[in-house]
Structure formats: structure tokens, C-alpha cells
Amino acid sequence: MAGNRTFTMLKPDAVGASKSGAIIKIIEEAGFRIIAMKKTMLTPERAGEFYTVHKDRPFYKDLCRYMSSGFIVPMILEKENAVEDFRKLIGATDPAKAAPGTIRNLFAKSIEANAIHGSDSDENAIIEGNFFFSNLERF
């Protein structure tokens, strides 16, 4: 069913600060069900592949270095209206602009080290989920 899944990834700043559990608690209490989850690391090349949409942006190289600097926790989540509701739960890219109570408002350190990723469309949620997980038809 379209629209009921999204992809997220806890970023190295949040995982490194031992905030994974606190963030996952917020995600589950907001009604998202975890379909798939693992703890892993990206090489700079794999990070570049994941964020290829930003390859011409001035921050791309820094972003790839940052995203490969520590452990990440990618997850596939399920909930009605998942993509839009999850973007609301995480808040704006820049933590200084993220609404009070959002995950980035609570945990992000900077516009780059902003704690968590959230897919921006149903189409990208599928592409990004497949980037990290296989055999998804079983779940």
C-alpha cells in the first residue's frame, strides 16, 4: 500500500552520543512500527551514493565525510501517512529552525550533524530502504 512506509537513519552524531534508544522511543511512541533496523557504517563512497542528489552542493564532500564518520542506524518504518508525519516528527534540517519537541530540536548538534534522516517522498522511501535492506517482500 502506497504511503504507509518511510525510511530513516540515525546519524553518527546521535548514535555516537548514545541517543539511539531515546530517539527510537520517540519514534515508536509517535505510532511508527519498525519493519527493519540495523547498526552499520557507510564508507565515504557509499555515503556519496546515498546523497547523490546533493552532489553539486557545496557541503557534499563534508556531508559524505560526516556520514561515514561513525555508526548509523537505518530503519524502515510503517504508519499511515508515514513520509509526511515522519518529516514533521524530525523537524527542519537546521536545528535552530526545528520546532520545539521535534527530534532535531531535541538532539541535533548542527545543520550537518542533525541527528536523523527522513525520506522526502514515497518514491525515495522505497529507493532508500532498498539501499540498506534486501528481502523486504518478506516483511
Q: Which residues make up the interface to ligand GTP (CB under 6 A)?
A: 54, 59, 62-63, 93, 111-112, 114, 117-118, 120
In the DSSP assignment, the letter for residue 72 is: B
Instruction: Give the nearer residue to ligand GTP in terms of CB position, either 84 or 120.
Output: 120
Instruction: Give the nearer residue to ligand GTP in terms of CB position, either 36 or 108.
Output: 108
**54 among known catalytic residues:** no
Give the shortest CB-131-to-ligand GTP separation in angstroms: 13
List the grid coordinates of 21.
534508544
Integer angstrom CA distances of residue 88 from 30, 61, 83, 119: 11, 27, 9, 11
Instruction: Give the nearer residue to ligand GTP in terms of CB position, either 59 or 139.
Output: 59
Q: CA 133 from chain center: how many Å?
A: 14
Give the shortest CB-22-to-ligand GTP separation in angstroms: 19
Beta bridge partners of 37: 75
* Among 75, 117, 119, 125, the one annotated catalytic: 117
Q: Among residues 113, 64, 67, which one has the least CA distance to residue 93?
A: 113
Residues with catalytic roles: 117
